[in-house]
Chain A
């Protein structure tokens, strides 16, 4: 099964791609696993619930900007935006 997967990826000529992606994921996973040692009680998370602690702002307000950014650069993804296309200029 594993050999089949490796063969498939190799056939796509993305060996370096696979290595780099997995390497970054492992690094991020390790960082977060270490971080998981720190427990914060629910009553201590009040500050984190404030609106200024959101990762991103109002999705409606910023939707157009994200859309424009994505198709004016050669790379995209990483933030969980999903797939789907358009013939945008």
Chain B
């Protein structure tokens, strides 16, 4: 059994599987569709530019001995003289190295892996309407995902209100390294609806909700759960281990309410709240707050904070004794060693700078960005790990034309 534990990936693959976002449409419209934005109030620069080419670099390291390095590149172009149709393509490589608690508890060596992702999209504006379609392919040695999304946006009431809708579907194939016969499917469908409203000339508000349904193999193919009292890992001879077993279906709902207010001509305040609940009885609350200041022409500084809290899944237990399994109150055979299904909370503080120069006489401009953030995770009911500190750094450069 232990031989099969030579490599462990976190069952975080599930939550990632449900939220590795694809941006269905290119250019500023894609960002507006994916992140909201005031109706008819997208940055003036986006109205002028016909496209952009850029790259970014992201590094994350944490006290759980995991390092992630993600270089990426993208290209967007508005087509035709009217610039109403746009295309976009992008690529990123997600290279990570880990000896996390999951891997250490299985007495495995450090794992190094790479994920390659390709995205492509087309968007089109027609009067008060805009439409987008996107495709995303994510490939790893043991995981393949293909997803598509369709989105639309309509602006009403003199463009004071924007209604947005997005539908996406994903077909994933889960494999297991070293086991050519292991192949499982995951299907995910999600629907997102958002309304953005200009309240005053200084205040905007957005409400949105999203439903997601996933069906298939929702466990980690690598994670095993120690069975036995006071047993923390699968190295001991005092107990035994079983493969992680999650329910085969998960329905989720999340609702978000957020607002932005212009405190002055150069300073604004943003605040948001998200409520989340799912079929596995995980419930979470997320609060965000940020200050954004234009400190010079084209230079934006943002100070942001985030706090998150969640309850545990109904089948989560810090330990599964043999007796508790037999006398299971919930009458289920579901077991997990996924810390993301345990009770947890975290906070994050970040600072970033974004710069975009004016277009020159040739119609070309430059842009750049820097970001850093610290996050502290707390796991009060997870054996072997009670706190993780993480540091993130990112930079981006590009040209706008």
Q: Which residues of A contact B (CB under 8 A)?
A: 12-14, 16-18, 20-21, 24-25, 28-29, 31-32, 35-36, 38-42, 44-89
A48 engages B41 (CB within 8 Å): yes
Q: Contacts A54-B37, A56-B35, A87-B143 hold; do A77 and B56 have CB atoms under 8 A apart?
A: no
A52 touches B293 (CB 8 A): yes
CB distance from B172 to the nearest CB of A (A): 4
**A72 CA to B174 CA, complexed, in Å:** 19
A83 touches B189 (CB 8 A): yes
Is B362 part of the contact surface with A, judged by Cβ < 8 Å?
no
Contact between A40 and B252, CB atoms less than 8 A apart: no
Nearest 3 CB-CB pairings of A with B: A85-B17, A64-B58, A28-B207
B195 touches A32 (CB 8 A): yes
Residues in A neighbouring B24, C-beta threshold 8 A = 82
CB of B354, distance to nearest CB on chain A (Å): 6
Expressed in whole angstroms, the minimum distance between the Cβ of A87 and any Cβ of chain B is 3
Query: Distance (Å) between the CB of B92 and the closest chain A CB?
Result: 8
Q: Which of B52-108 contact A (CB under 8 A)?
A: 54-56, 58, 60, 66, 68, 70, 72, 74, 92, 94, 96, 98, 100
Does B172 contact A36, Cβ atoms closer than 8 Å? no
Which chain B residues border A68 with CB–CB below 8 Å? 60, 68, 390, 392
In the complex, per-residue mask of B9-53: 1 if CB is within 8 Å of any chain A CB, else 0 = 110110111111111100000110111111011111100000000
- Beta-carbon contact of A86 and B140 below 8 Å: yes
Assess the B44–A70 pair: CB atoms within 8 A.
Answer: no
Determine the chain A residues whose CB is within 8 A of the CB of B278 once the complex forms: 17, 75
User: Do residues A42 and B207 form an inter-chain contact, with CB atoms below 8 A?
Assistant: no
Q: What's the Cα separation between A62 and B194 when bound, in Å?
A: 21
Q: For the complex formed, measure the closest distance between the CB of B359 and the CB atoms of chain A, giving whole angstroms.
A: 15
Q: B19, A80: Cβ atoms under 8 Å?
A: no
A contact residues around B22 at 8 Å (CB) = 81-84
The answer for the CA separation of A71 and B341 in the assembled complex, in Å, is: 11
Chain B residues whose CB sits within 8 angstroms of the CB of A69 once the complex forms: 348
A14 partner residues in chain B, CB cutoff 8 A: 251, 279
Q: Which residues in window 289-329 of B have CB below 8 A to A? A: 292-294, 300, 302, 308, 310, 313
Contact A79 B256 (CB under 8 A): yes
Choose among B195, B212, B253, B395 the residue with the greatest number of A CB atoms under 10 Å from its CB. Answer: B253
The verdict on A61 contacting B251 (CB below 8 Å), with A74-B310, A83-B190 known, is: no
* Smallest CB gap from A54: residue in B: B37
Once the chains are docked, how many angstroms separate the CA of A41 from the CA of B159?
A: 9
- Closest Cβ–Cβ distance, residue B297 to chain A (whole Å): 11
Contact B394 A61 (CB under 8 A): yes
Stretch at the interface among B123-131, B229-237, B259-267: B259-267
For A82, list chain B residues within 8 Å (CB).
19, 21-24, 34, 134, 136, 147, 149, 166, 168, 190, 192
Q: A24 with B209: in contact, given A60-B398, A62-B371, A88-B115 (CB under 8 Å)?
A: yes
- Cα of A41 to Cα of B39 in the assembled complex, Å: 12
Question: A28 CA to B373 CA in the complex, in Å?
Answer: 31
Known contacts A44-B201, A54-B37, A77-B252; A67/B16 CB under 8 A: yes
A selection of 6 A-B contacts at a CB cut-off of 8 Å is: A35-B199, A50-B43, A52-B294, A63-B58, A67-B20, A84-B147
Among A28, A52, A57, A58, contact of B208 (Cβ-Cβ < 8 Å): A28
Q: Check A61/B371 contact, CB under 8 A, given A12-B279, A89-B66.
A: yes
Question: What residues of chain A lie closer than 8 Å to B313, measured between beta carbons?
Answer: 74
* Cβ-defined contact, A71 with B16, below 8 A: yes
Interchain nearest-CB distance for B258 vs A (Å): 7
A78 to chain B, nearest CB (A): 3
A25→B40 CA distance, assembly (Å): 24
Question: For residue B33, which residues in chain A have a CB less than 8 angstroms away from its CB?
Answer: 80
- Give A87's nearest chain B residue, CB to CB: B143
Nearest-neighbor residue (CB-CB) of A67 within chain B:
B20
Residues of B within 8 A of A79 (CB): 34-35, 208, 210, 256, 274
- Report the separation of the CA atoms of residues A61 and B398 in the bound assembly, to the nearest whole angstrom: 11
| Known pairs A61-B354, A82-B192, A89-B98 / 8 extra A-B pairs, C-beta < 8 Å | A21-B253, A55-B206, A70-B19, A72-B377, A84-B17, A85-B13, A86-B20, A89-B111
Contact residues in A for B254 (Cβ distance below 8 Å): 75-78
State how many angstroms separate the Cβ of B9 from the closest Cβ of chain A: 5
Cβ A65 vs Cβ B371 within 8 A: yes
Q: Is the CB of A21 within 8 A of B249?
A: no
